[in-house]
Amino acid sequence: MIITESMQNLFNHYFWRLFQFYLLANIGWHLYIAVTHDPGAFYIGWIIPLFFIGLFVQLFISTVRPSQARYYYCVLFLLFFAGWQIWLSYLMLNELRLFLLSLLSGFLVLLYLNHRRFGVKQRRALLSLFSAVLVAIPANYLGYEVLIYKQQPAYSEWAEFAETHRAMGTFEFNWLNESAIVGRFEMPNEHNDLSPLRVFDLNTGQLTIIDIGGGKSSVSRHGNWVGYIRLIDKPKKSVQYIRQEMPDGPKEIMLEAESFGLGSFRLLSPDGQKVFFRGSFNKGIPSPKVVYWPWEQTSWVADIKVAWLPDSQAILIAQRDESTGYKLQLNVYSLDLKVIGSIPVGEEITLIKDLKISPDGQMLYAQTMHRYDVSLDYYNLREPEKGWRTAVSHLVHDWDVGAGGKLVYANTPYSSGYFDFLNPRALATRGIWLFNPEDGNVVRLTTHPDELPKFSPSGNQIAFRRHYQSPSSQYAIPSDLIIIKKTGSSN
């Protein structure tokens, strides 16, 4: 690269000062993150890259003239910093993509300004604009952080962090009772898809593997209590079991293997005595405990969403089929699949992506689509005249409903799409949030990119996973299982 005199003067007078300011601002930002959020942020964000950048400086910059050293230092820094932050963005979805975009855009603007067609006034004008962009992007992010913190009370009635269990809960989990959690907890060198089902005792800190009787097992995310259903194949007995851990112990339903055909939505009832099965059987329905929804009754999987009512005597089904012109319907069915009630959804709701009912049967929550907008809406079953109302006005992947109809959800940076790094508000509002339908208030419980919040059976505790890796990765990094409690709770 040939460095002209005008480039060097422009760099020394303008960009070098901005670059120094930005280095200090970025270091200060990471120190703030390290103190208030994550102690590892400063180490990952600065110590490691500066170490390797120092090696580059020793190897390459020592061979150039001192007058050009600062220019090459910035070029090397930008190249390494860009690669480092792209990797961090993929692995951890880090907010530093904002700084990366600023630095790269500044470098391109610097090269562009060196063109001879630009005079002094035009260069100063563009430099002023560039400086404003450099300040505006992090200021916008910090402004949203300050705005959110001012708007939300500090943890309200919930304690901050009651318990932290290191390297736990890297996969699905849920509460077994108030003092035990069941799930797939990763052990050293253990692939998360192969880790067995374990019970974690919060009082003793001990892990116990659940005996599933041998054979193969598979996982479905359609379970309504543990979060998934264990399908246990016992070839010697020629049967299959649908098993789910319940508060009063494990529940199993036996299905004859030779009659078990293709299907989905094997959803166990809250009492553990029945299973909703959508699919087809080779030799008819094998068990009176199976509530059978024929595969051909709806056209495709996305057209049906199911939730058991708490008493296990009825099922709520959201469906669209050809007979109604694919108009969305939300009906309550008896165990023999006869319509015994319905819930109006209105013309504005075109699709329901997920359904959950509060343990007391009072509140229904649904991830809905309003033409092109996705939101998390709720419907008070005891006050139907109020209709549907919106709890969260954007897509939420991880959410749970507890006693009293309260909603807890994870507002992670990747919850709305691949381009959230261009939306500082999506980053500034990440964390675990609590919504109370009684007053419509939303409380921010954490500020990390946490996942999988789950209410305990009493609703007085919330467990969630602190996990920084992209969910698309094949292997999980051990994460923390964190539990927060209601202030004054004895659990």
Judged against a pLDDT cut of 50, whether residue 90 lies above it is answered with no
Q: Output the pLDDT for position 314.
A: 92
User: Residue 377 is encoded by which pair of tokens?
Assistant: 């809406």
How do residues 201-210 score in pLDDT, each as one tens digit? Answer: 888 878 777 6
Tell whether 138 and 236 lie within a shared domain: no
Element (H, E) at 69: helix 66-92
Q: Considering the domain boundaries, does residue 477 fall inside one?
A: no
pLDDT category, 248, cuts 50, 70, 90? low
For 162, 455, 459, the CA distances from 462, given in Å and listed in that order, are: 10, 5, 7
Say which residue, 323 or 465, is predicted with more confidence. Answer: 465
Q: Does 127 lie in the same domain as 263?
A: no
Distance from C-alpha of 299 to C-alpha of 294, rounded to nearest angstrom = 11
- Mean pLDDT across the chain, nearest whole number? 65
* Domain termination site, one of 303, 326, 342: 342
- Whether the pLDDT of residue 17 is over 80: the answer is no
| Residue 440 within any structural domain of the chain | no
Burial of 49 (0-12, 13-18, 19+ CB in 10 A): middle
DSSP secondary-structure letter at 269?
A: -
**Does pLDDT of 402 surpass 80?**
yes
Element spanning 425, H or E? helix 424-428
CA trace torsion 449, 452, 456, 459 (10° rounding): 60
Q: What is the mean pLDDT of residues 200-227?
A: 53
Instruction: Give the residue, 290 or 420, on which the prediction is more confident.
Output: 290
* pLDDT number for residue 406: 92
Residue 349 covered by a domain: no
In angstroms, the Cα distances linking 325 to 187, 298, 319, 343, 483 are 50, 12, 11, 18, 46
Question: For 318-376, what is each residue's pLDDT tens digit?
Answer: 887 666 667 788 889 998 889 999 888 877 777 788 889 998 888 999 988 876 678 88
Give the model's pLDDT for residue 39. Answer: 44
Last residue of a domain, one of 325, 342, 359: 342
Mean pLDDT, residues 239-256 taken together:
55
- Better-predicted residue by pLDDT, 286 or 398: 398
Report the half-sphere exposure of 473 (CA within 13 A, side-chain side): 18
Taking residues 120-139, what's their average pLDDT? 55
- The residue among 33, 71, 27 whose CA lies nearest residue 47 is 27
pLDDT of res. 485: 85
Q: Which of 342, 369, 401 is the last residue of a domain?
A: 342
pLDDT at residue 357 in the model: 92
Q: Provide the pLDDT for residue 379.
A: 93
pLDDT higher at 97 or 79: 79
- 229, part of any domain: yes
Of 410, 448, 473, the C-alpha closest to 94 is 448
- The range of the structural domain enclosing residue 106 comes to 5-151
**What's the average model confidence in pLDDT over 234-238?**
42
Name, of 7-16, 41-50, 343-352, the range with top average pLDDT.
343-352
Residues 6+ apart with CB under 8 A from 105: 130, 133
Interhelix angle 120-151/97-113, nearest 10 degrees: 170
The Cα 197–Cα 173 span in angstroms is 9
Structure tokens given for 200: 């974690």
Residue 16's φ and ψ, nearest 5 degrees, are -65, -40
Looking at the 3D structure of the chain, how many domains does it have? 2
Return the closest-CA partner of residue 298 out of 321, 267, 327.
321
Select the more confidently predicted residue: 395 or 76: 395
> 3-class DSSP state for residue 395?
coil
Token pair for 320: 């669209």
- The mean pLDDT value for 288-295 works out to 73
Main-chain dihedrals φ then ψ at residue 467, nearest 5 degrees: -135, 130
Q: Are 395 and 383 in contact (CB under 8 A)?
A: no
Is residue 480 a part of any domain in this protein?
Answer: no
Residue type, 174: N
| Residue 310 and residue 222 share a domain | yes
- The stretch 104-120 carries a mean pLDDT of 53
Residues 147 and 217 in one domain: no
Helix axes 120-151, 16-36, angle to 10 degrees: 10
**In one letter, which amino acid is 487?**
T
- Residue 207's pLDDT is 78
User: Is 15 contained in some domain?
Assistant: yes
pLDDT computed for residue 345 by the predictor: 85
Mean pLDDT (whole number) for 463-479: 57
Interior angle at CA 440, CA 439 and CA 441, nearest 5: 90
At 65, is the pLDDT very low, low, confident or very high (cuts 50, 70, 90)?
low
Q: Is 217 in the same domain as 146? A: no
**370 is a domain residue:** no
- Distance CA(86)–CA(134), nearest Å, equals 19
Same domain as 127, residue 217: no
Both 30 and 147 in a single domain? yes
Give me 114's structure tokens: 């060196």
Q: What percentage of the chain has pLDDT greater than the value 70? A: 38
**Does residue 410 fall inside a structural domain?**
no
